[in-house]
Structure 1
Amino acid sequence: MLVEHVRGGTNSNNVPASAFAMPAGMTMRYDLPDPALSEYLTGYAIYASNDRTPMLNWYLPAPAMISVLVDAGPLTVSVGNHRFGPLDRASFYGPTSRAFRTETRGGIAVGIGLSALGWSRLTARSAGEFHNRVVPLGSALGSDLSARLVEGLDALDDDTMIKPLLDAVFGAFFTRPHPREDLIRAFTALTVTDGVIEMKDVADRLDIPTHELRRMATRHFGMPPKLLLRRARFLRSFISLIRTDGMADYSKIDSSYFDASHFLRDAGTFLGTTPRRFIASDTVFLRASLRARAMVIGAPTQALHETAKAAAPVQNRPTGEQGRPQPNA
């Protein structure tokens, strides 16, 4: 079974094994999707744990993600005051504007990060329907995708085959372009640009009315543009502090913050607590994934992942991140 053969680490980018160091009994693996899928999927992650003792972990707000469990115990997710679970084997995590907490009991979680462009090609539904929600994958994106992922992963006995499997499955699902893809790409780039926070400024840069920007952001990104821009600004700043262990060095925060108290108010909104208290809580997998994801994929967290400006056309054929639930894909 796959659960007996997860080694952790990565087979791409020649990243040193030390990047994936985890406590005993836990492993983590990240992989890049096939280049033909890079605009639609932000990464593959696997977290695994041999320990069946209940474990809590906190994760940062993120864009949409698909999670598939393999030989994992009951899993529950809490977003703010809402609790979801026990989750189905294949679940869809909608875009979140709050840090969320998972309670796991060992096993493997395979995470697939989904970009706004990927969402636009998968479904005509609004991502805003799933803001801060976790639902069965079949109810969000259809039973066919859910069944292919679950059955495919169950048939594997080697973690190095997970990436080829995911590439093959998703290669058949992104063949229908959306007419506003250039706009979605451009807004994605602005959400990861330092200092960009005002909706009117963004609308002017994109040359669209603010009401059209609001509709586009909610439909494809899952929340209003102002909230998306604030989330990205906060995460850029928060992760800069984590990386340098300088939780009091507010010179590293985004240039659009007026002062430290302004940043701390956003921490209350997106973390539900202060940065120090959050990072001191149950964040074993979060801290490891920030390091590993940055080395393999190029951005420490999915919310700061910029969609590639161009990608090879998706062909309807097989094409060519890993460890314990839940992954930051």
Structure 2
Amino acid sequence: MLTLEDGETSASCFIAPHPRVAPYLSTYYFTAIEGPDGQEIRDWMNPEWASVRFCWLGQTRGSIYDGPFRDVPPAHFAGPTTVTQPFSAARAHIASIGFLPLGWHRFMREPAANWANRIDEASLVKTILPFDSMLDQVRDAASPEAVAELFDAILIAAMDGHPLTDAEAEEEQRIIAAHAVLVDPATSTVAQMTDRLGMTVKQLHRFSLKLFGFPPKLLIRRQRFIRTMAAVIHNPAANWADALDLQYYDQPHFNRDFREFFGMSPDQYRRLPHPVISAAAKARMKALGDPLQALQRPEGTPPA
């Protein structure tokens, strides 16, 4: 469905979902990987929210952080992450749906913490979406646009079949507010989150595990880390010290986070090729204005 130009090993495109489902999703995105002469291409994904991926052609291998590489099921679900997902493929064409925390609440039927830093068969997640049958429908589609229309139809049908209760609608507003506070660069402590959301520390902790997958303190650390990564993607010539988020005391502070989230130093990471992630970040930035999913603000909130 995606065509690679001469010399390219990866291509990506992003398509905005239908307005009815847009508040719940980051985007629909499509990736093609073709290693030269059948060579395996390897890259490292940044921490992000959950997504379901349908590899309709070829095969990918991957892991979470430093786990063993294994074949990834053609229809697989990746929960929210605070660590890298290394992956590889000699050839793969993938269609994906990215879910924001609000989308977890709308479509999933188990706590996000159950899938924190986890990737597995898509049929294993408790959801109102028919993940087990969607791969064959993706294979039959002729283009990314056709797949996007298919995704729209499936998600809208699921929403129509499972209307929100009044309590669930109220919960949506709390999730939007919490997500907006989390991605606000001014948020640096759990106390700030509890004050702005009117929650106790225990309430926020339970809420965060259920909808976001991790404790709030870890999510705040992830956000400052992702903001630094995004700054380098925006300006590849920048050094790490110039790109540091203001919440970092100094570069050693950032280096510790980098080793925890990626299992290597920033300089080691930068020396590695990133053909897939670089192409995806450029395409996402062109389509959506931001290179990384975890920085996307909930719909209807002003930019930071």
TM-score, length of structure 1 as denominator length:
0.82
Matched with 1:321 is none
Q: 2:235 aligns with which of 233, 240, 244?
A: 244
Deviations 1:6-27 (A, max 9, x none): 237xxxxxxxxxxxx7843533
Match of 2:136 in 1: 151
Amino acid at match of 1:35: P
Displacement after TM superposition at 1:282 (Å): 3.6
Contact 1:148 1:169 in 2 (8 A): no
Letter in 1 for 2:193: V
CA RMSD of aligned residues (A): 2.1
> Normalization by structure 2: what TM-score?
0.89
The question of 1:96 aligning with 2:116 is answered: no
Note if 1:60 corresponds to 2:46.
Answer: yes
Is 1:46–1:108's contact at 8 Å kept on the other side of the alignment?
yes
Alignment partner, residue 24 of structure 2: 40
After TM superposition, give the deviation of residue 144 of structure 1 in Å: 5.7
Higher mean C-alpha displacement, 165-174 vs 224-233: 165-174
Distance, in Å, in 1 between the alignment partners of 2:91 and 2:287 is: 24
Task: Report the counterpart of residue 165 of structure 1 in structure 2.
Answer: 150
Write the letter of the residue equivalent to 1:228. Answer: L
**One-letter amino acid matched to 1:210:** V
Deviation at 1:159, TM superposition (A): 3.2
CA distance in 2, matches of 1:247, 1:165: 40
Unmatched 5+ residue regions in structure 1?
A: 9-20, 311-329
Contact 2:54 2:76 in 1 (8 A): yes
Is the Cα contact below 8 Å between 2:107 and 2:127 reproduced in 1?
no
Amino acid at match of 1:162: V
Report the residue type matching 1:110 in the other structure. A
The structure 2 residue matched to 1:276, chosen from 242, 250, 267, is 267
Question: Is the 1:69–1:109 contact (alpha carbons within 8 Å) kept by the matching residues of 2?
Answer: yes
Q: Quick check: 1:121–1:176 contact (8 Å CA) kept in 2?
A: no
Which deviates more from structure 2 when the two are superposed, residues 143-152 or residues 282-291?
A: 143-152
Q: Which residue of 2 aligns with 1:263?
A: 254
Query: SS at the partner of 2:290?
Result: coil
Partner of 1:285: 276
Aligned 1:48-87 pairs, distance under 5 A: 48-51=32-35, 52-73=38-59, 75-83=60-68, 85-87=70-72
Alpha carbons of 1:214 and 1:267: their partners in 2 closer, same or farther (altered >3 Å)? same
1:183 is the counterpart of 2:177? no
Give the Cα separation in 1 of the matches to 2:289 and 2:134: 26
% identical equivalent positions: 24
Asked if structure 1 preserves the Cα contact closer than 8 Å seen for 2:10 and 2:279, the reply is no
Q: Which has the higher helix share?
A: 2
Equivalent in 105, 108, 122 of residue 90 of structure 2: 105
Note the residue ranges of structure 2 that are not aligned, 5 or more in a row: none
- Change in 2 beyond 3 A, CA 1:143/1:184: closer
Q: Is the Cα contact below 8 Å between 1:264 and 1:274 reproduced in 2?
A: yes
Question: How many angstroms does 1:176 deviate by?
Answer: 3.8
2: CA distance between counterparts of 1:84 and 1:92? Answer: 16
Does 1:137 find its partner at 2:122? yes
Determine if contact 1:195/1:255 at 8 Å carries over to the other structure: no
Amino acid at match of 1:118: G
Q: How much does 1:67 deviate?
A: 0.5
Checking the alignment, whether the CA contact within 8 Å between 1:58 and 1:282 is kept in structure 2 is no
User: What code does the residue aligned with 1:266 have?
Assistant: D
Cα distance, 1:243 vs. partner? 2.0
Quote how far apart the aligned CAs of 1:58 are.
1.1
The answer as to whether partners of 1:196 and 1:256 remain within 8 angstroms in 2 is: no
Partner amino acid, structure 2, of 1:204: D
Distance 2:41 2:156 in 1: 34
Structure-2 change in CA distance of 1:155 and 1:241 (3 Å): closer
Q: Take 1:309 and 1:24, find their aligned partners in 2: how far apart are those partners?
A: 36
Q: In structure 1, how many angstroms separate the alpha carbons of the residues matched to 2:77 and 2:286?
A: 26
Residues 40, 143 of structure 1: CA spacing in aligned structure 2 closer, same or farther, 3 A cutoff? Answer: closer
Q: Which moved more, 1:225-234 or 1:275-284?
A: 275-284
Listed one character per residue, the Cα deviations across residues 143-189 of structure 1 (whole Å, up to 9, x for unaligned) are: 96113421211211233312111111111223443241111111111
1:84 Cα deviation after fit: 6.1
| 2:197 aligned partner | 206
